[in-house]
Structure 1
Amino acid sequence: MDTTNNSAKQPKEVIIHLYNHILNKRRFEDLEALIADQYTGTKGIKGVAGFQQSIKELISAFPDIQWSIVEIVAEGNKVMLKQVVTGTHSGVFLGIAATAKNIRIQAYATYEFEAGKIIRSEVLTDRISLFQQLGVSTL
């Protein structure tokens, strides 16, 4: 487990570590040091479990998924980034059966920090492009 004191790290460094060493290497045991107890995920779940919920769903559908930071900007306790997500659709995603198709989509994410930990995040993904790459009609 990573015992690094995140309050000493800048938010930008924490996010780079999150992507490169936790998400892409599946080291979710290290999330405890990065996610605040008051963090609330998209389904209302708190803390690390709330943060992991949608990530685990993505990994289930795209087991080889990788997140790449294209651009990152930080100011104060906030970080915004542009990312590219790649993977192979090998499991059910949003009710869509596995297609074995490779995807490459862009997304934007914002993170807010308090006391060195993530308290809020929002990710906006180009879902139209995703559905087109999976061969799903968006109409």
Structure 2
Amino acid sequence: MTFVQVIDCKTSRFDEMNRLMDTWVEQTKGKRTATHSVIGKDRSDASHVIEIVEFPSYEEAMRNSTLPETDRIFREMVALCDEMPTFTDLDVVRDEQLYAATVRRFFEVIATKGELPPLNAVMAEHYHDHNPADEQDALGMDHVRRELDEWRAAFDFEFSIEDLIAQGDRVCARWFWKGTHKGDFLGIPATGKQVSMTGTTIFRCGGDGKLAEGWWEYDRMGLMTQLGAFEELER
């Protein structure tokens, strides 16, 4: 679970503190586990400064705090403060930007060439998939992986994300898919045809930022037409 630490302090020596933060980043390069940092100054009190530091997890934050550079910089920072700074530790329970990034990463992962990479970085173990083309919902990461393997065996494909809208724990992706038909797909032997389709998927994300549920809508009829599935019926 993403972890955030909020550091609240008062200082009349902000420029010196800012340089100190630059020194910390430089000295911990390659070792620092923070993924993002924002420093804000109170508009009504220029001596009031807040830093928000994001980590992948609480454990990573604790690993960062044990760095010898962190301990030294902390002592120097306290010396620059007018009073002892306060620290607030937060587990992130909602992050729309993180959710959108996870969805974008998911589409990249499933279109990766070669062997399908592990999905556990982007998908919850008990993920629930709703696909109108399937008689039953896909329950669990392993089931989803089997379905993806079928698509990947039938097509070399890629996605382009046309729109990505995040609200609350939901992310809506409007996407364009194109591929080359290289293997059997629903009884249709490989044709070598270049095919494409459009679709929209709404994902629900869990507190850990991973995909927990998904609802798919896509132009399956258009895809089957491009593959020649209805040519015999039209004669």
- For the criterion TM > 0.5, the same-fold answer is yes
The answer to whether the 8 A contact 2:129-2:215 is kept is no
Distance 1:44 1:15 in 2: 19
Give 1:84's aligned amino acid: F
Please point out which of 87, 99, 102 is paired with 2:191: 99
Distance 1:81 1:87 in 2: 19
1:90 corresponding residue in structure 2: 182
State the shift of 1:41 in Å: 4.2
State the shift of 1:60 in Å: 0.6
1:105-126 deviations in whole A, cap 9, x for unaligned?
1111111011212111121110
More relative contact order in 1 or in 2 (CA 8 Å, sep 6+)? 1
Give 2:195's aligned amino acid: I
Distance 2:116 2:183 in 1: 20
Distance 1:121 1:135 in 2: 29
Distance 1:78 1:44 in 2: 19
State how many pairs are aligned.
134
The answer to whether the 8 A contact 1:83-1:106 is kept is yes
Please point out which of 96, 101, 105 is paired with 1:13: 101
Please point out which of 20, 23, 31 is paired with 2:119: 31
Over the residues paired in the alignment, what is the CA RMSD in angstroms?
2.5
Give 1:24's aligned amino acid: A
1:71 corresponding residue in structure 2: 163
Q: Which runs of 5+ in 2 are unaligned?
A: 1-54, 58-91, 131-135
Q: Please show how residues 128-139 of structure 1 align to structure 2 within 5 Å.
A: 128-137=221-230
- The structure that has the greater radius of gyration is 2
More strand by share: 2
Distance 1:25 1:14 in 2: 15
2:212 corresponding residue in structure 1: 119
CA 136–28 in structure 1, closer or farther in 2 if over 3 Å, else same: closer
State the shift of 1:44 in Å: 5.2
Give 2:142's aligned amino acid: A
SS in 1 for 2:100: helix
